[in-house]
């Protein structure tokens, strides 16, 4: 039975007055006006769009919370296994539109709000993105939450409530400038839980003592204490009342207030400093993508979040009164990358130091509970924490890590006697100076299953970075779950017209819950009327983007031109530099043409967007080159509408929502073997765009599903990469002639001071062209020619787009979550 603060005889009275959900337009309008007039203390005389947005958001929030309460009660009563998804990033984007659509109340709300004098699009636009993530990894976590709720899985997300999300990007004089993203001004989607706090300890020392029965025990004492305060965010499923919880922790000084003693005795600064130090932990998201920088504050964030979450999970489990041996049957914990790996150590610590279990019993529980998802093979992105840093911050955890390593190495030694080098290679501790802890190894050793995020990637981790662990644990511990995206946000919400057209042909919106139903579109792929309707929708999405580009950059682009989009974090391995070099090459070719030749060319708009990590100089230089090229090309009257280059400032989730539906072609052109999966490739194809891409990450599986004729693949394969790099290192490669021409043009100063771009050129020459731009350049340009040819035949193009969408069923995050539930978590949905 659920504990209740209301005595049994009074509960009926309570239930009589229980909150109910609005269902009709009038009830919705009444809620909105009530919130505007009371919660917000505004009236019809001073209600602007922000106030109207707030009123609508609060009305929907109430609705979510009613379902949230019911769901949580039902899950507690049923006492089934739950999954906890630990992620340092949840890149949620906006919530209102998604809440309305998932609750299937948008039409009612649009109607209701228009009678109150507002347009829903304008209100939706008032909302600030919740940008608590960098890129793919954080957005994947958000898609997974949507799928978990939509499929009725009992699941909670755990993360950090950053006061500042990923920075906002401004482009000033062609350069990226970072501006802080303070997003909490008005956030109706979260609930502070002032009663749910956990004290988290740092630093101090470990005291060893002997128990009465002779056993040695450890207490970790002294040090700094910081309080974690829970904020809950309801996560509605689509077309189901299931509303799961995302719990984000915020840091505060543990006393709740700053030290008045110090304050009263005049030591103002120090009292404020203590408070600030505590609040700093959850203050800001680290803005790096695919690089590990090893800062102490980052480690503090990780432990703070992991310790608070585990305390919460363990507290919930203990309420059930079950034996500890049941823990893995009740709890699955998924580690989104290595950032939460300390959870493995923390659970072992709780079990042995607090709950007094034997080491082996505890370790059995731990290793049955965790799953670890790897998202990268890039060596610079693999987390390693310096031993002295961990020794100082988490002294007891370091002891436990040493012990885990010791027992692990002993079992390896027994199975592979005399292989000293194997022991050195797989040790959790790397014998560098200083020693470092290899977090991925700790995550593997402490987990039941390890997965990569696309087939190629999962194969690569088994044959490269984790090869020895496959030998030690056997291949079954390693598995693949190819990523997916939620079709609710990435089709229905982002592209309502296309979603409606599909629904019309398929007889309803069931495809949003079973995306394989899209294959019913196949039979319309050759239908001329359907093709026209389909392409009209594409055109109107392009018009909307053209309007946005005009308003924000002043650049006029022709919506009839081929829109070629590359939006994602800027990184050398993703090769935006190759794209802009390709654009320069196209520009040079156009310049050489006669008027008559030009008239035969396909018009192109090359659109870029993405943030560079603030300390990533090369990525910032790539942005600078894109803006420099756009400046020259867009103002060249010889070229006119044949080529336009646009950099979209501050790419984020809500911009992705209008960019994905507006592409004819999108670029996913990472060096083979470097992009673990990619997920925007899926979003673009799902929205009826074609892609140009390398044989990398999920591009390969997209090709398998949609067919080779519907994707523009180019470039070398992952298996060639090592040899090609080797050849570069020994100076055995000539630069591709077209690329040579591009470099010469940059160095001539056509795009401004060539000194600015020296680093980019150097990377291709003396730098050894690590990302193989030169090796892939010829086939990249040739493939773009094929794109142009294909675009000249609108019917065949439309057919390709429709056929591709019809085959995208596999790439829903629902399928991914079902695979996790079956193969990793052993989790059952709760029937609603
Ligand atoms: C991304 N990783 C992969 N990391 O690059 C991408 O291929 C994949 O589709 C996606 O994960 C989802 O699996 C990624 O986004 C980060 O941003 C980390 C943030 C924290 C620091 C290290 C990189």
Res 260: pLDDT: 66
Q: How far is the CA of 133 from the centre of ligand 1 (A)?
A: 10
Choose one of 90, 135, 615, 668 to mutate for the ligand 1 pocket test, by most ligand atoms within 8 angstroms of C-beta. Answer: 135
| DSSP line for 602-668 | PPEEEEEE-PPPTT-HHHHHHHHHHHHHHHHHTT-TTTGGGEEEEEESS--HHHHHHHGGG-SEEEE
In percent, how much of the chain has pLDDT > 90? 93
Q: Which of 817, 731, 715 is closest to 775 using CA atoms?
A: 715
Q: Where are the alpha helices (DSSP H) in 281-394?
A: 296-319, 327-330, 342-349, 359-369, 387-393
Q: Which helix (H) or strand (E) holds 336?
A: strand 331-336
Res 258: pLDDT: 56
Q: How far is the CA of 374 from the centre of ligand 1 (A)?
A: 9
> Hey, what are 778's tokens?
């010829």
Q: How far is the CA of 291 from the centre of ligand 1 (A)?
A: 10
What CA–CA distance (Å, rounded) separates 341 from 157? 16
Res 2: pLDDT: 57
C-beta neighbour count of 115 within 10 angstroms: 10
Q: How far is the CA of 584 from the centre of ligand 1 (A)?
A: 29
Alpha carbon distances (Å) from 826 to 260, 291, 328, 364, 820: 51, 32, 10, 17, 8
Q: What is the mean pLDDT of residues 640-646?
A: 98
- Higher pLDDT residue, 20 or 92? 92
Q: What is the mean pLDDT of residues 540-544?
A: 98
Superfamily of domain 79-94+129-482+819-825: Glycogen Phosphorylase B; (3.40.50.2000)
Considering 438, 488, 542, 683, which one is annotated as catalytic? 683
Q: What is the pLDDT of residues 77-134, one digit of tens each?
A: 999 999 999 999 999 999 999 999 999 999 999 999 999 999 999 999 999 999 999 9
Contacts of 54 (CB under 8 A, 6+ apart): 35, 36, 40, 186, 188
Res 832: pLDDT: 77
Q: What is the pLDDT of residues 571-611, one digit of tens each?
A: 999 999 999 999 999 999 999 999 999 999 999 999 999 99
Q: Above 80 in pLDDT, residue 461?
A: yes
What ipTM goes with this model? Answer: 0.98
| DSSP line for 210-223 | E-TTS-EEEEEE-S
Res 264: pLDDT: 72
Nearest CA owner, ligand 1 atom 6: 678
Return the domain boundaries, the chain. Answer: 18-78+96-128, 79-94+129-482+819-825, 487-811
Res 1: pLDDT: 47
Q: What is the pLDDT of residues 755-787, one digit of tens each?
A: 999 999 999 999 999 999 999 999 999 999 999
Q: Is the peptide bond preceding residue 434 cis, with omega within 30 degrees of 0?
A: yes
C-beta neighbour count of 262 within 10 angstroms: 16
* CATH level 2 (architecture), domain 487-811: 3-Layer(aba) Sandwich (3.40)
Phi, psi of 210 (to 5 degrees): -105, 130
Query: Across all residues in the chain, what is the average pLDDT?
Result: 96
Q: How far is the CA of 510 from the centre of ligand 1 (A)?
A: 31
Active site residue 800: no
Considering 75, 94, 477, 574, which one is annotated as catalytic? 574
Active site residue 568: yes
Q: What is the pLDDT of residues 425-449, one digit of tens each?
A: 999 999 999 999 999 999 999 999 9
Nearest CA owner, ligand 1 atom 14: 137
Q: How far is the CA of 122 from the centre of ligand 1 (A)?
A: 32
The two most distant CA atoms of the chain are separated, in Å, by: 96
C-alpha gyration radius of the chain: 28
Asked, colleague to colleague, whether 79-94+129-482+819-825 and 487-811 share their fold, the answer is yes
Q: Which of 809, 815, 817, 811 is closest to 153 using CA atoms?
A: 817
Alpha carbon distances (Å) from 27 to 22, 65, 236, 403: 5, 17, 20, 61
Pocket (CB within 6 angstroms of ligand 1): 134-137, 140, 288-290, 375-376, 381, 453, 483, 675-679, 697
Alpha carbon distances (Å) from 410 to 317, 402, 416, 422, 440: 32, 12, 10, 12, 19
> Tokens 């480690």, residue?
299
CA terminus-to-terminus distance, the chain:
19
What CA–CA distance (Å, rounded) separates 484 from 682? 7
Choose one of 86, 91, 137 to mutate for the ligand 1 pocket test, by most ligand atoms within 8 angstroms of C-beta. Answer: 137
Burial 730-757 (b: 16+ CB within 10 A, else e): eeebebbebbebbbebbeeebbbeeebb
Tell me whether residue 819 is exposed, middle or buried, using C-beta atoms within 10 angstroms of its C-beta: 0 to 12, 13 to 18, 19 or more: middle
Q: Which of 677, 653, 685 is closest to 518 using CA atoms?
A: 685
Q: Which helix (H) or strand (E) holds 376?
A: none
Nearest CA owner, ligand 1 atom 17: 289
Q: Which of 612, 59, 763, 557 is closest to 289 using CA atoms?
A: 612
Q: What is the pLDDT of residues 740-751, one digit of tens each?
A: 999 999 999 999
Contacts of 249 (CB under 8 A, 6+ apart): 158, 159, 160, 161, 198, 228, 229, 230, 231, 282, 304, 305, 308, 309
Considering 489, 492, 568, 710, which one is annotated as catalytic? 568
Q: What is the pLDDT of residues 346-364, one digit of tens each?
A: 999 999 999 999 999 999 9
Alpha carbon distances (Å) from 571 to 504, 611, 644: 41, 9, 23
Q: How far is the CA of 807 from the centre of ligand 1 (A)?
A: 25
Choice among 5-19, 182-196, 626-640, 711-725 with the minimum mean pLDDT: 5-19
What CA–CA distance (Å, rounded) separates 210 from 217? 6
Q: What is the pLDDT of residues 202-241, one digit of tens each?
A: 999 999 999 888 889 999 998 999 999 999 999 999 999 9
Active site residue 375: yes
Burial 567-581 (b: 16+ CB within 10 A, else e): bbbbbbbbbbbbbbb
| DSSP line for 232-245 | EEEEEPTTSS-EEE
Closest atom of ligand 1 to 139 CA is 12
Considering 63, 161, 477, 569, which one is annotated as catalytic? 569
Res 432: pLDDT: 97
Res 222: pLDDT: 83
Considering 375, 438, 457, 477, which one is annotated as catalytic? 375
Outline where DSSP puts E strands in 429-556. Answer: 429-430, 436-438, 449-452, 478-480
Q: What is the mean pLDDT of residues 247-252?
A: 98
Active site residue 574: yes
Which residues on adjacent β-strands are paired with residue 169?
Answer: 178
> Hey, what are 27's tokens?
């009830």
């Amino acid at each position: 039975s659920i504990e209740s603060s209301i005595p049994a005889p009074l509960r009926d009275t309570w239930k009589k007055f229980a909150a109910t959900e609005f269902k009709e337009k009038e009830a919705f309008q009444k809620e909105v006006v009530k919130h505007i007039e009371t919660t917000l203390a505004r009236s019809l005389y001073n209600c602007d769009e922000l106030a109207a947005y707030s009123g609508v958001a609060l009305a929907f929030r109430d609705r979510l919370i009613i379902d949230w309460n019911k769901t949580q009660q039902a899950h507690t009563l049923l006492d089934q296994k739950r999954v906890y998804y630990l992620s340092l990033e949840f890149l949620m984007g906006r919530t209102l539109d998604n809440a309305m659509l998932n609750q299937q109340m948008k039409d009612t709300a649009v109607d209701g709000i228009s009678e109150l004098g507002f347009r829903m699009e304008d209100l939706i636009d008032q909302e600030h993105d919740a940008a608590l993530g960098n890129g793919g990894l954080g957005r994947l976590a958000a898609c997974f939450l949507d799928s978990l709720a939509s499929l009725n899985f009992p699941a909670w997300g755990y993360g950090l409530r950053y006061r500042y999300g990923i920075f906002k990007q401004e482009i000033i004089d062609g350069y990226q400038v970072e501006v802080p993203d303070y997003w909490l001004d008005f956030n109706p989607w979260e609930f502070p839980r002032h009663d749910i706090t956990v004290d988290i300890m740092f630093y101090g020392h470990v005291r060893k003592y002997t128990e009465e029965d002779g056993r040695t025990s450890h207490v970790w004492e002294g040090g700094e204490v910081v309080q974690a305060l829970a904020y809950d965010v309801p996560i509605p499923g689509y077309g189901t009342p299931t509303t799961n919880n995302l719990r984000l922790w915020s840091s505060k000084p543990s006393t709740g207030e700053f030290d008045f003693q110090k304050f009263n005795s005049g030591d103002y600064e120090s009292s404020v400093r203590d408070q600030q130090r505590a609040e700093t932990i959850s203050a800001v998201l680290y803005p790096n993508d695919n690089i590990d920088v090893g800062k102490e504050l980052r480690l503090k964030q990780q432990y703070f979040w992991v310790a608070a979450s585990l305390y919460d999970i363990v507290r919930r489990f203990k309420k059930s009164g079950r034996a500890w041996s049941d823990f893995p049957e009740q709890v699955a914990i998924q580690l989104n990358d290595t950032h939460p790996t300390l959870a493995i150590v923390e659970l072992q610590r709780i079990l042995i130091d607090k709950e007094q279990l034997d080491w082996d019993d505890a370790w059995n529980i731990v290793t049955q509970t965790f799953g670890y998802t790897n998202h990268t093979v890039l060596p610079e992105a693999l987390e390693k924490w310096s031993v002295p840093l961990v020794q100082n911050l988490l002294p007891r955890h370091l002891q436990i890590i040493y012990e885990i390593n010791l027992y692990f190495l002993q079992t390896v030694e027994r199975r592979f006697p005399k292989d000293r080098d194997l022991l050195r290679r797989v040790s959790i501790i790397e014998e560098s100076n200083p020693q470092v802890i290899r977090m991925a190894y700790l995550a593997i050793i402490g987990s039941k299953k390890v997965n990569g995020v696309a087939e190629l990637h999962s194969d690569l981790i088994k044959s490269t970075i984790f090869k020895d662990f496959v030998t030690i644990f056997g291949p079954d511990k390693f598995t693949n779950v190819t990523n997916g995206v939620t079709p609710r946000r990435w089709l229905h919400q982002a592209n309502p017209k296309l979603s409606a057209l599909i629904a019309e042909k398929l007889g309803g919106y069931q495809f949003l819950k079973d995306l394989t139903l899209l294959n019913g579109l196949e039979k319309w792929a050759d239908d001329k009327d359907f093709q026209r309707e389909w392409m009209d929708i594409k055109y109107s999405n392009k018009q909307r983007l053209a309007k946005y580009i005009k308003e924000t950059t002043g650049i006029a682009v022709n919506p009839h031109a081929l829109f070629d989009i590359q939006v994602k974090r800027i990184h050398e391995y993703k090769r935006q530099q190759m794209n802009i070099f390709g654009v320069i090459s196209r520009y040079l070719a156009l310049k050489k043409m006669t008027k008559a030749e030009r008239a035969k060319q396909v018009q192109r708009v090359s659109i870029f967007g993405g943030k560079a990590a603030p300390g990533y100089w090369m990525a910032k230089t790539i942005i600078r080159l894109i803006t420099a090229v756009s400046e020259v090309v867009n103002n060249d009257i010889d070229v006119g509408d044949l080529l336009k280059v646009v950099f979209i400032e501050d790419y984020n989730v809500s911009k992705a929502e209008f960019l994905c539906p507006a592409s004819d072609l999108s670029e996913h052109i990472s060096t083979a073997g470097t992009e673990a999966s990619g997920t925007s490739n899926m979003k673009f194809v799902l929205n009826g765009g074609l892609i140009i891409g390398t044989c990398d990450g999920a591009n390969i599986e997209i090709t398998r599903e949609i067919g080779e004729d519907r994707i523009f693949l180019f470039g070398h394969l992952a298996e060639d990469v090592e040899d090609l790099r080797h050849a570069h290192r020994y100076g055995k490669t000539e630069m591709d002639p077209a690329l040579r021409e591009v470099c010469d043009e940059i160095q001539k100063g056509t795009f401004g001071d060539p000194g600015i771009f020296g680093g980019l050129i150097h990377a291709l020459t003396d730098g050894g062209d690590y990302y193989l731009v030169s090796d892939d350049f010829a086939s990249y340009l040739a493939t773009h020619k094929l794109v142009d040819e294909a675009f000249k035949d609108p019917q065949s193009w439309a057919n390709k787009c429709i056929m591709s969408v019809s085959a995208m069923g596999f790439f829903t995050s629902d399928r991914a979550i079902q695979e996790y539930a079956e193969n990793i978590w052993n989790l059952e949905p709760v029937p609603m």
